[in-house]
């Protein structure tokens, strides 16, 4: 099964997989060969990619859609970041800034922007945690 993860800016992953774990709006889903075809909305969270050789890759996305077909899974993400490119200190700082901005928000628009930034930081934090867990 081939997985493709793309945003409007670029392709983040394309390759053969054994399984992918995705943060759907209804909870985490696992997609493997033979999965029923469908389209589902994704929320912010970690994406865990398991290759046939057992190697794992981790991404953080901030939502989007996934289309599952018999031989292909296509993730269309709003934004994405590879866990190998994430830094714990930068994530903690972004999380703190977003929490403060959400608390200080003056109106719905400011609150929504701050909430989205917090969601992104939390997704990155979870992806980094998963990467660490599997690299030990």
| pTM: predicted TM-score of the whole model, two decimal places | 0.81
- Reading phi first (left if > 0) and then psi (alpha if -120 to 50, else beta), residue 63 is in left
Q: Answer with the residue of higher pLDDT: 85 or 63.
A: 63
- The β-bridge partners of 72 are 2, 69
For range 62-84, the mean pLDDT: 92
Q: How many residues does the chain have?
A: 136
Residue 136 has pLDDT above 60, yes or no: no
pLDDT above 90 as % of the chain: 54
């Amino acid at each position: 099964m081939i997985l493709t993860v793309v945003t409007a800016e670029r392709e983040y992953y394309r390759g053969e997989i054994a399984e992918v774990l995705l943060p759907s709006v209804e909870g985490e889903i696992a997609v493997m060969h033979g999965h029923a075809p469908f389209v589902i909305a994704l929320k912010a969270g970690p994406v865990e990619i398991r290759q046939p050789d057992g190697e794992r890759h981790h991404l953080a996305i901030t939502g989007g859609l996934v289309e599952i077909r018999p031989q292909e899974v296509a993730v269309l993400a709003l934004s994405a970041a590879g866990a190998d490119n994430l830094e714990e200190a930068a994530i903690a700082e972004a999380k703190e800034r977003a929490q403060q901005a959400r608390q200080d928000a003056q109106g719905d628009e400011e609150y929504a922007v701050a909430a989205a930034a917090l969601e992104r930081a939390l997704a990155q934090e979870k992806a980094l945690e998963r990467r660490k867990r599997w690299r030990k």
